[in-house]
């Protein structure tokens, strides 16, 4: 896992320079990222408990602790940028400790299930969305946060793949089809939303070059259509091959 940047000293940013409407959107976007990073803290805390319960090898526990520490730092980073833009970071509503999907599974299945959904599938998508934003953002404070998030999420994605390579072969071979179905459902969870978003976009317009939106990119934002197009590209070029390589597709 790469060494994460730990500094909260963001380069200066002047919110007044930005279009007022986009600035409001940016405050809400970064406030929402504070909530999703909090969600990652909750999920990785649960994963750590699951790994401990099934007595997984110590290096996975150490990496999970490291990843949890990353997510706590992400809450702080996104909060700092939200405040620098004049927004107000908010914590999410408290949730039950148990995730519904995980709670339905036997304790011995939970570490693998969480690794597939939260690390392999979700972090592969997070990395792709962050790469798409970072590559187009030149505003120093925003780029600083995007780069720091990206460096860590790449490590989380790869930790998920490492854990699947460890845990999946240890499951009974007769379960393999069920795990593939489980992974497919994790992808479909995103796919439904993407299909709805792209339904109104004619096929000839379905290319990233038609949705450059540099003003949003400067503030670390994108449009739903662009995000849907990044999803499609990531599914074909990265996520599906990755799931196949892990014997999950
Ligand atoms: Fe994160
Ligand atoms: Fe993460």
98-145 pLDDT tens trace: 566 777 899 999 999 999 999 999 999 999 999 999 999 999 999 999
Name the residues around ion ligand 2, CB cutoff 5 A: 153, 156
- Which fold is adopted by the domain 19-245? Ferritin (1.20.1260)
CA of 173 to the centre of ligand 1 (A): 33
Point out the ligand nearest to the CA of residue 39.
Answer: 1
CA of 156 to the centre of ligand 1 (A): 9
Report pLDDT for 99.
Answer: 66
Point out the ligand nearest to the CA of residue 73.
Answer: 1
CA of 19 to the centre of ligand 2 (A): 31
Report pLDDT for 90.
Answer: 85
Q: What is the pLDDT of residues 135-171, one digit of tens each?
A: 999 999 999 999 999 999 999 999 999 999 999 999 9
CA of 168 to the centre of ligand 1 (A): 25
CA of 239 to the centre of ligand 2 (A): 16
Cβ atoms of residues 157 and 234 within 8 Å: no
Alpha helices by DSSP H, listed for the chain, are 20-53, 58-84, 100-104, 110-114, 122-134, 140-167, 176-198, 214-218, 224-234, 240-245
Mean pLDDT throughout 206-215? 94
Mean pLDDT computed over every residue of the chain: 93
Q: What is the pLDDT of residues 36-55, one digit of tens each?
A: 999 999 999 999 999 999 99
What span, in angstroms and rounded, lies between the C-alpha atoms of 72 and 244?
Answer: 31
What span, in angstroms and rounded, lies between the C-alpha atoms of 229 and 162?
Answer: 28
What span, in angstroms and rounded, lies between the C-alpha atoms of 203 and 26?
Answer: 29
CA of 153 to the centre of ligand 1 (A): 6
Mean pLDDT throughout 187-215? 91
Q: What is the pLDDT of residues 216-237, one digit of tens each?
A: 999 999 999 999 999 999 999 9
pLDDT of 91 over the 80 cut = yes
Report pLDDT for 5.
Answer: 52
Cβ atoms of residues 87 and 30 within 8 Å: yes
CA of 241 to the centre of ligand 2 (A): 21
Report pTM: 0.92
10 Å Cβ neighbour count for 175?
13
């Amino acid at each position: 896992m790469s060494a994460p940047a730990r500094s909260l000293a963001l380069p200066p940013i002047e919110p007044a320079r930005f279009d007022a409407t986009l600035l409001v959107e940016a405050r809400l976007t970064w406030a929402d990222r504070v909530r999703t990073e909090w969600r990652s803290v909750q999920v990785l805390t649960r994963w750590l408990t699951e790994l401990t319960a099934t007595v997984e090898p110590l290096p996975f526990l150490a990496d999970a602790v490291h990843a949890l520490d990353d997510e706590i730092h992400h809450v702080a980073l996104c909060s700092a940028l939200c405040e620098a833009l004049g927004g107000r970071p908010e914590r999410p509503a408290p949730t039950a400790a148990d995730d519904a999907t995980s709670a339905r599974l036997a304790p011995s299945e939970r570490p693998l299930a969480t690794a597939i959904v939260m690390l392999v599938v979700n972090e592969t998508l997070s990395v792709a969305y962050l790469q798409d934003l970072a590559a187009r953002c030149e505003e120093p404070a925003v780029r600083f946060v995007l780069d720091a998030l990206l460096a860590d999420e790449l490590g989380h994605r790869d930790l998920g793949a490492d854990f699947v390579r460890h845990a999946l072969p240890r499951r009974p071979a007769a379960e393999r089809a069920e795990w593939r179905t489980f992974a497919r459902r994790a992808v479909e969870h995103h796919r439904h939303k993407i299909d709805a978003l792209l339904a109104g976009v004619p096929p000839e317009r379905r290319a990233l070059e038609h949705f450059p939106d540099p003003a949003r990119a400067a503030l670390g934002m994108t449009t739903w259509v662009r995000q849907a197009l990044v999803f499609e590209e990531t599914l074909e070029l990265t996520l599906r091959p990755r799931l196949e390589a892990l014997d999950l597709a």
